[in-house]
Amino acid sequence: MLQAVLSKIDAAQEESLEILFRLVKFQSIATDPAFDSECIACAHWLKAHLESFGGRASLHNTTGQPVLLSRWNEGQASLPHVLFYGHYDVQPVDPLNLWATPPFEPRIGKTASGVKAVFGRGAADDKGQLLTFLEAVRAWMAIHGTLPFRLTVLLEGDEEGNSDVLDAFLKEQGAALKADIAMICDTEMWDAKTPAITTSLRGCISEDVVVTGPRLDLHSGYFGGPARNPLKALSSLIAKLHDAKGKVTVPGFYDGVKPVSKAKLANWKRLKLTEKEVLGPIGLKTSAGEKGFTLAEQLWARPTLEVNGFWGGYTGIGGKTVLPAKAQAKFSFRLVEGQKPKKVRAAFRAFMKANLPPDCKISFHSHAGDSTGIAVKEDNPWIAEAATALSEEWGVKTALVGSGVSIPVVECFRKHQKMESLLVGFARFDDAAHSPNEKYDLESFHRGTRSWARLFGSIAKRT
């Protein structure tokens, strides 16, 4: 049963690549309204594609881009129900001049290490990833004519911009979309040869801060000294946010943070994560994270408060002896399970107001798309089954890892559909997702598809 599907996947590699190329050609940049028509065209193309191998597909309007739903084996309540999630929108391509070839003209090339890959915007995030699952479905349907489970595929077009769009859609759908498990292919392998299942994610919130002082920019010769400088005021606030050990000093910031279990810590220790591996490729040597915690904990289990931008006054060529009327900064917070975004934001604002120097005013602006930290129980039977399937394909033990990034849909599924997620991905850390010259290794695409097929085979044995 399984071997025939794997052989079909092997034989169809060229056809699968053609499908990926066609998908990557859509300029589906949802954050820029100029590309709305491309996003809509991409959604319609995916709908037709899913229908071509048996899915009953439908497009649903939202406050953003269309959501695509496609179903197989509807009404067969005795079968396990799987929901697969992916997103067809991509990041903007700027700076365009750093791309070796046009970002929406996919090509096969070689990486610096000589590995063959598909280059193009969205090749890894998330078009190549979602197609690993869909190509496994297509191959299984070609061999068997039906799946060994009920399947709902959900593809959205606002993941890179505004997660509130899908959150509202999932809230409206409620139990109608509930499945036994949500499978998501938007994460990475542990290394080039080791598959991984992600069992924890950090959430994210962001804040813009503006500090104003005098009613206009001032001549530093006339007013330098006695007049309050908003840049100095804001920099002093930033300096107070962390202590010498890297701990956030905002009262209440760590409320709800839970210690990592001994079993998970032992598992992470076996991964032997080192500063050289993590920081070396980006030109750094020493962790600046919270003291007293391992590198894995700093990345996956500890919350952070970071400054993303800081500016004010004159920033042009040459000098201008001015005291600015205002200073601005952008902050982001990576949150872990147990923290409440609203409480963290309120605590941060209270801290900034309490420490604001005289003659200054402060204002805040938050961005849409708050998400909480998520941890999935590692004894979940779906994780064990997927880990076995991945190990069979890649020939090594599957790593159970955390991630410092945010995938808001995981929280949405838990909140609105009361279901957990299985996070399996085949991206690699050098894929340059969100950056120029994004790529997806051919091995990831091919063996990722085979990995999903192996999991389908495992499900088939118990149905």
**Residue 20 CA from chain centroid, whole number:** 20
Integer Cα distance of 29 and 121 in angstroms: 10
Question: Coil, helix or strand for 402?
Answer: strand
Q: Tell me the two tokens of residue 58.
A: 């439908």
Kindly report the backbone phi and psi dihedral angles of residue 7, in degrees, each rounded to the nearest multiple of 5, phi listed first.
-65, -40
Q: What integer is the mean pLDDT of 272-295?
A: 94
Please state which of the ranges 268-282, 323-337, 447-461 shows the lowest mean pLDDT.
268-282
Instruction: Quick: pLDDT tens for 355-406.
Output: 999 999 999 999 877 889 999 888 889 999 999 999 999 999 999 999 998 8
Q: State how far the alpha carbon of 198 is from the alpha carbons of 42, 173, 304, 414, in Å.
A: 28, 26, 19, 16
Domains of the chain (ranges; CATH) run 2-201+373-461 (3.40.630.10), 203-260+299-366 (3.30.70.360)
Please state which of the ranges 80-84, 267-271, 456-460 shows the lowest mean pLDDT.
267-271
Please, are residues 274 and 295 in contact by the beta-carbon 8 Å criterion?
yes
Kindly report the backbone phi and psi dihedral angles of residue 59, in degrees, each rounded to the nearest multiple of 5, phi listed first.
-105, 140
Integer Cα distance of 92 and 433 in angstroms: 11
Q: What integer is the mean pLDDT of 235-251?
A: 98
Q: Tell me the two tokens of residue 168.
A: 């509202």
Q: What integer is the mean pLDDT of 187-213?
A: 96
pLDDT band at 462 (very low <50, low <70, confident <90, very high): confident
DSSP-assigned letters across all residues of 279-306: HGGGT--S--S-TTS-HHHHHHTS-EEE
What confidence score (pLDDT) does residue 53 get? Answer: 98
What confidence score (pLDDT) does residue 162 get? Answer: 86
Please, are residues 165 and 64 in contact by the beta-carbon 8 Å criterion?
yes
Q: What integer is the mean pLDDT of 423-445?
A: 96
What confidence score (pLDDT) does residue 370 get? Answer: 86
Instruction: Quick: pLDDT tens for 143-161.
Output: 999 999 999 999 999 999 8
How many C-beta atoms lie closer than 10 Å to residue 219's C-beta? 12
Q: Tell me the two tokens of residue 267.
A: 């598992």
Q: State how far the alpha carbon of 288 is from the alpha carbons of 274, 366, 405, in Å.
A: 13, 26, 18
What confidence score (pLDDT) does residue 140 get? Answer: 98
Task: Measure the N-to-C terminal CA separation of the chain; round to a whole number of Å.
Answer: 14
Instruction: Quick: pLDDT tens for 30-60.
Output: 999 999 999 999 999 999 999 999 999 999 9
Please, are residues 112 and 25 in contact by the beta-carbon 8 Å criterion?
no
Q: Above 90 in pLDDT, residue 163?
A: no
**Region at 319 (left for phi over 0; alpha for psi -120 to 50; beta for the rest):** beta
Q: Tell me the two tokens of residue 9.
A: 């996947």
Q: What integer is the mean pLDDT of 98-113?
A: 97
What confidence score (pLDDT) does residue 378 get? Answer: 85
Cis peptide preceding 126, ω within 30 of 0: yes
Task: Give the DSSP H/E element, type plus range, for residue 200.
Answer: strand 196-201
Please, are residues 188 and 427 in contact by the beta-carbon 8 Å criterion?
yes
Q: Above 80 in pLDDT, residue 110?
A: yes
What burial letters (b/e) apply to 165-186, b meaning 16+ CB within 10 Å? bbbbbbeebeeebbbebbbbbb
Identify any residues that bridge with 374 across adjacent strands, giving them in sequence order: 201
What confidence score (pLDDT) does residue 447 get? Answer: 98
What confidence score (pLDDT) does residue 385 get? Answer: 97
81-87 and 181-184 strand pairing: parallel
Question: Which residues lie closer than 8 Å to 218 by C-beta, 6 or more apart?
Answer: 224, 227, 322, 323, 325
Q: What integer is the mean pLDDT of 63-78?
A: 96
How many C-beta atoms lie closer than 10 Å to residue 432's C-beta? 18
What confidence score (pLDDT) does residue 47 get? Answer: 98
Q: What integer is the mean pLDDT of 337-355?
A: 97
What confidence score (pLDDT) does residue 86 get? Answer: 98
Instruction: Quick: pLDDT tens for 294-341.
Output: 999 999 999 999 999 999 999 999 999 999 999 999 999 999 999 999
Could you identify the residue written with the tokens 């920033």?
A: 315
- Mean pLDDT (the chain) is 96
DSSP class of residue 35 equals: G
**Residue 61 CA from chain centroid, whole number:** 23
What confidence score (pLDDT) does residue 161 get? Answer: 85
Q: Above 90 in pLDDT, residue 2?
A: yes
Q: Tell me the two tokens of residue 288.
A: 């600046």
